Amino acid sequence: MGNTVLSVSETKHSKQKFSKKIKQSKNDNVFNIIVYGLAAIMLLIVLYPLYFVVIASFSDPYAVSSGQVWIVPKGFTFDGYKELLKHNDIWTGYANTIMYTIVGTFVGIAVNVSAAFALSRKNLVGKKFFMMMFVFTMFFNGGLIPTFLTIKEFHLYNTFAVMVLPFSVSVFNIIVARTFFQSSIPDELWDAAQIDGCGNLGYFFKIVLPLSKAIISVLALWTAVGMWNSYFNALIYLKDSSRYPLQLILRNILIVNSMQGSMGTGEAAQVALRLSSMMRYSVIIISTVPIMCVYPFTQKYFNQGVMIGAVKG
């Protein structure tokens, strides 16, 4: 009799647990539906402008300006790309930009990572003073004219080096890398390295750098994107068109075509305006696709490289 009563109570208890699980699962389903719905809306908000630029680059500009282009191209044409490729200096700009990006990224990583490692060391004399000087430059600088005069005095004006050396230091990247070193590289590694007779340089190159692939990849991507999109420095510090990066050459092409369309008259002006409108979207595609191809190779390092330092720091 006692066993029967016990089995009945156990059955009721299991039923209550099962009903709670059902209720929890329903709540979880509702929560998942809301989360996935919001994620889908955010994804659409981010991706649709990119998709629109792609289809607009293959569409008739009148259809784009009148709002007829939504899902698929209207008046499919390659005229915008054909007009851009008629300019041979685009290939020169591509070559220059690739070289500026590769060399500038290497220099930027070498400068910023080494500075971040030095600032992360507890035994660095004057550590707070140096860090304060770095942070000070984030809020105050000498201005455009003093910087221009300094570059002229160092004979960097209109040279390859002016695009990769003077602006290679990024205080933000230094702070991110320093936080990563402080939070992710344990001090015990330094003690063990000293026991094995390893100095500061050996510790940095043999231990710290191999353990910092994540943050180095993230900083390299940030630096490369900045170098690829940069045109203002070239506009100010370069006068030889053979040294212009791609962004500056594309900017000049758009300005010339827009001026031809606005200053001309008749059918020729309409054709120039049409080509100028088509080239705007084609320019975006040509200038962004190469650097976007780099993202998939560094995507996996973002959480590991940035969020670890951000959460623990």
Same domain, 125 and 230: yes
| Cα 173 from Cα 221, distance rounded (Å) | 11
Residues making up the chain, counted from first to last: 313
The answer as to whether 63 is a domain residue is: no
Contact 108, 93 (CB under 8 A): no
Say if residue 83 is in the same domain as residue 216.
yes
pTM of the model: 0.78
User: What six digits make up the tokens of 1?
Assistant: 């009799």
pLDDT for res 231: 87
59-63, 122-126, 262-266, 268-272: which has the highest mean pLDDT? 122-126
Provide DSSP, 135-204. HHHHH----HHHHHHHHHHTT-TTSGGGGTSTT---HHHHHHHHHHHHHHS-HHHHHHHHHTT--HHHHI
Mean pLDDT for the stretch of residues 260-270: 63
> Both 217 and 292 in a single domain?
yes
The pLDDT confidence band at residue 110, using thresholds 50, 70 and 90, is very high
Residues 190 and 84 in one domain: yes
Question: Tens digits of per-residue pLDDT, 195-235?
Answer: 888 888 899 999 999 988 888 988 998 899 889 988 899 99
CA angle 43, 44, 45 (to 5 degrees): 90
Report the C-alpha gap between 231 and 226 in whole angstroms: 10
DSSP assignment letter at 211: G
- Mean pLDDT, rounded, for 31-45: 89
Q: How confident is the model at residue 245 (pLDDT cuts 50, 70, 90)?
A: very high
Same domain, 174 and 293: yes
Alpha carbons 136 and 145: distance in angstroms, whole number: 19
The pLDDT-based confidence of 17 (bands split at 50, 70, 90) is low
In a domain? residue 177: yes
230: nearest Cα among 254, 243, 246, 216 = 246
- Residue 174 located in a structural domain: yes
Confidence (pLDDT) at 155:
92
**226 and 148 in one domain?**
yes
Residues 259 and 303 in one domain: yes
The domain of 46 spans 2-57
Band the pLDDT of 114: cuts 50, 70, 90: very high
CATH code, 150: 1.10.3720.10
Claim to verify: residue 131 and residue 90 sit in the same structural domain: yes
pLDDT for the residue numbered 48: 87
User: Based on the structure, what is the number of domains in the chain?
Assistant: 2
Q: Give the pLDDT score at 158.
A: 92
Question: What mean pLDDT value characterizes the chain?
Answer: 81
Whether residue 107 lies inside any domain: the answer is yes
Buried-state track 221-249, b at ≥16 Cβ within 10 A, e below 16: bbbbbbbbbbbebbeebbeeeebbbbbbb
Residues 147 and 207 in one domain: yes
Q: Say whether both 93 and 151 belong to one domain.
A: yes
| 8-state DSSP, 61 | H
